[in-house]
Every structure is written in structure tokens, then in C-alpha cells.
Amino acid sequence: MKKIFTTIMICAAAMFAFAACGDPEADKLEKVAGEWHYTGVESGVEIDIYLGLYTDSTFDLYQKVGEGPHYLYKGKYNFDGQVLSGTYSDYTPWAHDYNVTKSNGSLTLTSVAAPDYSITFRKEAIPQSVRTHYMPVTKAEGETPAIL
Amino acid sequence: MKMNMIRRIFSLMLPAALVAVGCAEKELPVLEQPSAEQTKLATKCLNSSERAEEGTLLLYLDDAVALQLAAGEGTAQWEEACAALGVEYVEKVFPNTSDELSQSLGLHRWFMVSFPDETDVVKAAQLMADLADVDAIQFNTSIERRFGSEAPIPWTPFQQEGHGEFNLPFNDPMLVDQWHYINNKDLSVAQTSRTGADINVKNAWGLTAGDPRIIVAVCDEGVKYTHPDLAANMWVNAGEIAGNGIDDDGNGYVDDIHGWNFLSTEKYPKEISWNEPGDVSHGTHVAGTVAAVNNNGIGVSGVAGGSGNGDGCRIMSCQVFSGSSSATVAARARAYHYAAQMGAAVLQCSYGQEAGLLTSDQGFESSYTVEIAALRYFRDYGNQKNGSPVNKNIIVFASGNDGANISGYPAAHKEIISVSAFGPDYLPTNYTNYGPGVNISAPGGDVSINLTSHSERAQILSTTAVESAQYDSNYGWMQGTSMACPHVSGVVALGLSYALKLNKTFDYDEFVAILYSSVNDLDYYIETCSKQANGVTFDLTPFWRKMGTGAVDTWKFLMNIEGTPNIVTKVGELSKVSLVPCFGEPAANLTYTKLEIDDQARETLGIEGEPYINNGRLFIKCTKYGSAKIRITAIAGGDNVATDAEMGGSEFTREVSLLSRDSIAENGGWL
């Protein structure tokens, strides 16, 4: 009986250990994944940006600068637990790699190379009106890339 | 049905004139050596008599004489010449020319004389050239029917696996077969079918599906205005009472309810028709693409056909072909003039001269003086009657089906939008004209890529005028730049509708520039590709950068209508900013001719050096944070701008908002 109990415990521990391991990369992405929103005004121009970071390492960036619809940039990102980097689907790299700070429902991205530059998003779902009303600029992987 | 604009100036002298006909033939000189008459004719004659209609001549008269004739009076010399020629009728080419625009374009000075068909038209021209009051003579030449004599292939039920995913916005049962609107790589259309090889209209219909205030004049065969899928979207002349034989609205045309048959003359009156021997449903097919009624539970959808709530754009039938009768210059010119005065905002014309017959705008303008004047009238008449959000009207022509490396005319003219055709494989068709003069592309169908038993499915599906009990024969397949053209006309109509909805107005040049920028890149597919056409390898390399700016995209067009595009540059360093947000996917393949940055913008942004554009990127160094407007000009169609003497593309200019900030990716992405 004791032997059976020991065997069960070993199996359970093994299963727990297996489950806990998961995918370490996905676990890292989980930390930044979500939908984020930034608004601001620069030089009198209103900026409105939604960023969707998804656990499959893809992102959608809906960007509105001034009038007109949001422009959609798609691509892939990576997060190593500290630094967030990404490439648009037209193979253009992000302007920066960013150190990430999360607090109170906000996500602050600070340029690794230029620490004076940062942008803070707050957690907010991308509205359906934005998801369905945008100008595509870069396409998803598998679609024809724009020649830039 | 009569055109009361026609002045029977010589009705009283008609018997005498008819008697004179026989004499006239004898009296006209026999021309074997260059004569004084020939020389005079050469100085006054605008075009060749090839394909001239028998029995008519177009005369551009001295201003004072034109006024006299319009009042029913003629000079003694004029009457003598007419009597010698046996003139039966003299009529103004354009009725209602009292407006300033008609006068400034000289439309009031154009007259058409009709005489017996047996009279040699060249000799008649020589006789009229003798008159000092005749400033110019244009043979009333016709554009041959160049869309073939084959009727459309009737639509038949087709059951086969292979349709892509469809979530259709309208309940029109044949919309699933209209790959040219929604192409989900339907293999039953073609094995080489490509997702997105369409006009990307599906989601655009969620923003607008049309507006009845926007009228598209379909210059073509007569439109079957009784067609169940067209009738509700036919333009109705509210000022006219049907069938009372009176010109109620005083526009010069009696009982013009849905348009007019411009082949109708005093001599040969005709009503709008679509089933004369030789008719092939061309006009009805084109009209259906523009605005077949959407969401009515029957047949097909139209690009600007509304949402089923009476909100479709309207179709005006301006008939210039009938059976075997071709469109004469006079018929075409009258149609354009009528369309303007009756409120059309878009002129849809799927015909033209064979590519190569004319090779410059100057050549077209000098040979077809009356036509270009009427086209300009249509454009410049603008929104006086139609409430269009654009200050001028839009003219769209098919580039032609000669497979030639230049567009045919009138399409090629720099003031006209010329449309080439691609197939469901997103590749140029083996018939389309391309190269100089072509501005933009749209689906035209391509049966040659399909060797299956249902190859017609790679063509364009629309309404037809065929009346048969077999299946639902009111619908059928056709292909050609004739079919591509109404896609662009429909998209333009949707754009106008959306601008109305947003309460936005546009300058003509700005609106057309937005259209040319709202495209997808065809060159990506063309660059390294050939295709099979009728089982033979068809080299596509000649088409690279020759299909205008690209494939028209309805959704992008509406998005661009919403606001000025923005590009962002990084302050303090030389940025190379992608112009894709402003000029669409093909930005890198466009030729840019101008970059305008005024002094205020330079000061605001602290621009150092001279910015320039290379490979679709703006190279600019801003030293200050700020925002300013700049203007960028590119060519729609090729590397060279059309001049009067040389064919080429049309310049178009986009105003762009430029923001300089700390950080931006090279493609304009914020991160």
C-alpha cells in the first residue's frame, strides 16, 4: 500500500513538474501580451495608438496620427523577459528595442539605446470600431508583403 | 420621339433642296489633281474621312453665323451651299448652349448638316470648306464596336466545391460568383485564382453602398432599364413626364426618362434600345457592374448598387451604340453634354479608338475637337446640378483590348482615367492595353487562363439584356477592359457617395489623386512571372510598371477619403520615410516628379538640405519637432508625364501631413 502511495505521489509530482515547465518563451510573452492604448498630442497633432501583443508573438499596431483612419501595421515581436523587440511584416525593424515596465495596468516601453525616449500604454481592449476600420499598411505573414 | 432641339431651318426649302441633290452630284468637282477646293479643305478639315458617317458633316462656324443659324436664319452664301449639297437638316450638335461654359468651349458653334447618303462626304466637305463662315470641318467618324459581336455567356447554376470562405454582405444569390468583388481564391473560377484579386469592396459596402444623388452616365449600348436588377437604380428624369411627347423640362429632348439614344437624329429618330440585331448586352452588362441593385434577393450585386434600401447610385443610359451602328463623334459629344446638364457625376465609357491610331493628346484634340470639347464640358460642368462633393466630374474610359503597349484614345488623354484589366490571378490579361496612357487597373476577366469546361467563370458576371427562359438568362459573363472600366466607375461613385456621407468636399485633382493612390501592387506579381494563356506561356515582363499605379482598392479609397495621410520622420537625423501610407503599396515603383515644401514648412520643421524621394522613400532631415503639410507629385502610369505631343502618365499630387518626432520606424510605424 505504501508502495502504491509512493508511486502515485511520484507520478503526480512528475505531472506537476511537466505542467509547470510549459513553454518558457510563451510564458515570457504572457507578461506583455494584451491590448494597450496610447494617446497624446505632439506638435499640435493628436496621436491615438492601439497595440495588440499576442501570445503567438504577433502584434497589431493601429496608429492614428492626426485626421483619417488608424493605419494598421502588423508584425512579430519578441520578449526575453526584459527587452521587447519587433519587426514589421515588411521586415522593417522597430525603431528601438525597449525595456519593459509594467505597473497598475500600464506598460511603459523605454528605449534601450536612448533611455530618454519612452512611451506608456494603458491596458485597454482595441475597440471593434478600430479593428474594422483601418487602413492596412503592412500585411500579416503569409499575405503578400508590401514592397517598401 | 423627337428631338425638338433640332431646328428645321431648311424645312421650307427642303423640296427645292431635294431636287437639287441630283444636280449637286454633278456640280461637285471631280477631284483628280490637288485643287483649290482640296487645299481649302485641308486647312479646315480636322480629321480623316475614314469611317465617316455617310450623309452628315460637323461644321464649326463663325460665331456670328452660328447665332444666325440658331435663330433659324442663314446667309445667302450658306443657303446656296446647302442647296447645292442638298442639305436636308441643319441642327445644333449641342442643344442648350446658352450657358457660359458651353460658350467658352465654343459648343454653340458646332452644327451638323445632314444630306443624302449618296452624296460623297468628302466632296460635301469640300463644298462647305468654301464657305468663309465655316471655320472647321469634322467628319462625323465613328468608333467601331470593338467589344466584339458575341453575346455574353449566360449564367448557369454551378455546383462545385472550391468556393473560398464567404460571408456575404448582400443576399444577391450570384454574388458568390462575382470573384471580381470578393475573390477568396475560388478554384472553381480558375486554378490560379488569388485571394484579393478583386476590388476589395466587401467591407467598403459596410461604410457606403452608394447614394442616389450620384449619377453615373453609361455611354454604351442602351441599358435595359426594365431589367429587374437595374430598374430600381435607373436614373429618372424628374422633370419629364413619360410618353406625353412634350419636352417638359425644356432640355431639348422629348420624353428622356432614363437617358437618351444619341444615335437618334431628326432623320433617324430612335428610342433607347438594347435588343437590336447585333446588340450584345454590352451596355446592360456595364451598367450592372456599376450599380446593379444590391440586397434585393435576385441576381448579382453592383459596385455602387446600394444596400437594398433605395440607396444605390443611379444609372443614366446615354446610348451611343445600337446594333451594328457605331458611336459617331456627334453622338458621343452630345451624350457627354447631356450627361453633364442632366446631373451625372461620372462618365463611364467602355470604348475607344484602336491603340496606335492616335499617339498623342495633341493628335486626339486636333482630330476630335468636338469630342474633347464635350468631354471637357462634362468634366468642368462639375457639381452645378448633381451635388457631387467634387468640384468637377470624373471621366473613366477603357484602355482597350488590343494587347498593345499603349492605351487607346480617348482613354489615353491625360485628363481622362484609363483603365486596364487583370484577371482572377491578379495578373494582366492577354488582351489588355498597358503602358503610356494607362492610369489604373481593375478586374476585367480572363477566360484564357482557364481551360476547364466552365472557363467563363473567370470572366465578369453582370446583368444582360438577353431575354430567354433558359435558367436566369438576365445574367451573363463577359470580359474586356470594357468590364474593368465600370469597376473603376463604380468605385469612384462609391467614393463620391462616401464623401457625401462624411460631408467632405474635394478638389477634382485631389480626388483623382486619392483614387490613384488607393491601389494594390500588381508589379509584385508581375515582376518575375509569366502565365498560361490559352495553354501558351504568356510573358508578363512587358507589363511591369505599365498597369497604371496598380489595382484599384475600394476600401483604401474610402479610408483615404477620410483624411490626409500622415508620415512621421525622426528629428535630428536623415530619415528615409516610406511613402506607402500616402501612395499605397506601389509607392516604391512610382516615379515622383515633384516635392513641394514651402518656406513656412521648412522653418517649422527646421529642414536641413534638400529633401528628395528615392525608391518610394522620402529622405528628409528635420531638426525641429513640428508638423507641416507638404505636397508630393507622382505619375499615374509609367515614367513620363504626358505632354501634348507625347503619350505618358498623368501627374497626381497628394498633400501629406509630416510630423517630426523623437522616434519612428522607417516604414512609419510608431514603435
DSSP conformation letters of B233-288: GB---TT--TTSSS-TT-SS-TT-SSEEETT--SSS-----S-STT--SHHHHHHH
User: Which helix (H) or strand (E) segment is B629 a member of?
Assistant: strand B626-636
The shortest C-alpha distance from B657 to chain A (Å) reads 8
pLDDT interval class at B268 (50, 70, 90) = confident
Q: What is the pLDDT of residue B337?
A: 98
Whether the Cβ atoms of residue B235 and residue B259 lie closer than 8 Å to each other: yes
Interface contact A8, partner B, CB < 8 A? no
Q: Do B670 and A96 count as a contact with CB atoms less than 8 A apart? A: no
User: Phi and psi at residue B293, in whole multiples of 5°?
Assistant: -70, 125
pLDDT digits (tens, 9 = 90+) for B473-496: 799 999 999 999 999 999 999 999
% residues pLDDT > 90 (chain B): 70
Q: What is the pLDDT of residue A142?
A: 43
Whether the Cβ atoms of residue B187 and residue B193 lie closer than 8 Å to each other: yes
* Cα B289 to Cα B463: distance, rounded to the nearest angstrom: 8
pLDDT interval class at B469 (50, 70, 90) = low
Q: Do A144 and B661 count as a contact with CB atoms less than 8 A apart? A: no
Interface contact A40, partner B, CB < 8 A? no
3-state secondary structure B426-438: CCECCCCCCCCCC
Closest CA to B139 of B152, B148, B126, B130: B126
Report the number of secondary-structure helices (H) and strands (E) in chain A: 3, 9
Residue A129's contacts (CB-CB under 8 Å, 6 or more residues apart) are: none
pLDDT interval class at B386 (50, 70, 90) = confident
Q: Where are the beta strands (DSSP E) in B144-245?
A: 153-154, 215-221
pLDDT at B285 over 80: yes
In B, minimum Cα distance to A121 occurs at B671
pLDDT interval class at B384 (50, 70, 90) = confident
Interface contact A45, partner B, CB < 8 A? yes
Q: Do B203 and A94 count as a contact with CB atoms less than 8 A apart? A: no
User: Phi and psi at residue A80, in whole multiples of 5°?
Assistant: -95, 15
* Cα B281 to Cα B155: distance, rounded to the nearest angstrom: 13
* Cα B433 to Cα B416: distance, rounded to the nearest angstrom: 15
Look up residue B246 and give its three cell numbers: 412634350
Strands B530-533 and B650-661: unpaired
* Cα B312 to Cα B397: distance, rounded to the nearest angstrom: 22
Q: What is the pLDDT of residue B34?
A: 56
Average per-residue pLDDT for chain B? 89
pLDDT at B430 over 80: yes
pLDDT interval class at B70 (50, 70, 90) = confident
Closest CA to B315 of B336, B281, B338, B284: B284
Write the ipTM.
0.83
Thinking of the domain A24-136, which architecture would CATH place it in?
A: Beta Barrel (2.40)
Of B203, B562, B581, the CB nearest to A137: B581
| Ordered per-residue pLDDT tens for chain A, 148 residues | 455 555 555 555 555 444 445 677 778 888 899 999 999 999 999 999 999 999 999 999 999 999 899 999 999 999 999 999 999 998 999 999 999 999 889 999 999 999 999 999 999 999 999 999 999 887 544 444 333 2
Residue B77's contacts (CB-CB under 8 Å, 6 or more residues apart) are: B131, B132, B133
Domain range annotation of chain B: 5-141, 153-558, 565-661
Which residues of chain A neighbour B661 with C-beta distances below 8 Å? 42-43
B630: left (phi over 0), alpha (psi -120 to 50) or beta: beta
Interface contact A148, partner B, CB < 8 A? yes
Residue B315 bridge partners (DSSP): B216, B234
B592-596: strand order across its sheet: B566-570, B650-661, B626-636, B592-596
pLDDT digits (tens, 9 = 90+) for B639-654: 899 999 999 999 999 9
* Cα B386 to Cα B378: distance, rounded to the nearest angstrom: 12
Q: What is the DSSP letter of A148?
A: -
- Give the count of Cβ contacts less than 8 A between chain A and B: 127
Of A65, A86, A136, the CB nearest to B671: A86
Closest CA to B320 of B221, B420, B192: B221
Look up residue B587 and give its three cell numbers: 509607392
| CATH, domain B153-558, list 3.40.640.10, 3.40.50.200, 1.10.940.10, 1.25.40.10 | 3.40.50.200
pLDDT digits (tens, 9 = 90+) for B80-101: 889 999 998 899 999 999 999 9
What Å distances lie between residue B60 and B57, B138, B191, B397, CA to CA?
A: 10, 8, 55, 26
Q: Hey, what CATH class is B565-661 in?
A: mainly beta
> Residues B574, B577, B581, CA angle at the centre, nearest 5°?
165
Q: What is the pLDDT of residue A12?
A: 53
In A, minimum Cα distance to B627 occurs at A43
In B, minimum Cα distance to A97 occurs at B671
Closest CA to B671 of A102, B663, A82: B663
Q: Do B564 and A148 count as a contact with CB atoms less than 8 A apart? A: no
pTM: 0.90
pLDDT interval class at B585 (50, 70, 90) = confident
* pLDDT, average across residues B433-442: 97
Q: Do A148 and B203 count as a contact with CB atoms less than 8 A apart? A: no
Interface contact A66, partner B, CB < 8 A? yes
* pLDDT, average across residues B173-200: 91
pLDDT at B667 over 80: yes
* pLDDT, average across residues B381-388: 89
Q: Is B384 helix (H, G, I), strand (E, B) or coil?
A: helix
Of B523, B581, B671, the CB nearest to A71: B581
Whether the Cβ atoms of residue A48 and residue A70 lie closer than 8 Å to each other: yes
Q: What is the pLDDT of residue B156?
A: 83
> Residues B76, B82, B84, CA angle at the centre, nearest 5°?
105
Which residues of chain B neighbour A135 with C-beta distances below 8 Å? 556, 559-560, 581
* Cα B106 to Cα B100: distance, rounded to the nearest angstrom: 10
Q: What is the pLDDT of residue A137?
A: 85
* Cα B663 to Cα B574: distance, rounded to the nearest angstrom: 12
The shortest C-alpha distance from B492 to chain A (Å) reads 18
Q: Do B669 and A92 count as a contact with CB atoms less than 8 A apart? A: yes
pLDDT digits (tens, 9 = 90+) for B501-539: 999 999 999 999 999 999 999 998 887 688 888 888 889
> Residues B172, B173, B175, CA angle at the centre, nearest 5°?
70
Mutate to test the interface with B, among A38, A43, A89 (most CBs of B within 10 A): A43
Which residues of chain B neighbour A67 with C-beta distances below 8 Å? 562-564, 657
Which residues of chain B neighbour A68 with C-beta distances below 8 Å? 559-560, 562-566
pLDDT at B265 over 90: no
Q: What is the DSSP letter of B558?
A: H
Q: Is B163 exposed, middle or buried (0-12, 13-18, 19+ CB in 10 A)?
A: middle
Give residue for cell 431589367: B227
Which residues of chain B neighbour A111 with C-beta distances below 8 Å? 663
Q: Is B542 helix (H, G, I), strand (E, B) or coil?
A: helix
Strands B110-114 and B89-92: antiparallel
Which residues of chain B neighbour A137 with C-beta distances below 8 Å? 580-581, 667-669
* pLDDT, average across residues B352-364: 94
* pLDDT, average across residues B545-563: 95
Greater confidence (A138 vs B77) lies with B77
pLDDT interval class at B109 (50, 70, 90) = very high
Radius of gyration of chain B (CA): 26
CB atoms under 10 Å from CB of B546, counted, come to 25
Whether the Cβ atoms of residue B233 and residue B302 lie closer than 8 Å to each other: yes
Domain range annotation of chain A: 24-136
Residue A121 bridge partners (DSSP): A107
In B, minimum Cα distance to A110 occurs at B671
Helix axis angle for B554-562 and B481-502, nearest 10°, is 30
Radius of gyration of chain A (CA): 20
* Cα B671 to Cα A84: distance, rounded to the nearest angstrom: 10
* Cα A129 to Cα B512: distance, rounded to the nearest angstrom: 27
Which residues of chain B neighbour A109 with C-beta distances below 8 Å? 671
3-state secondary structure A79-94: ECCCEEEEEECCCCEC
Whether the Cβ atoms of residue B372 and residue B365 lie closer than 8 Å to each other: yes
Interface contact A147, partner B, CB < 8 A? yes
Closest CA to B620 of B600, B603, B605: B605
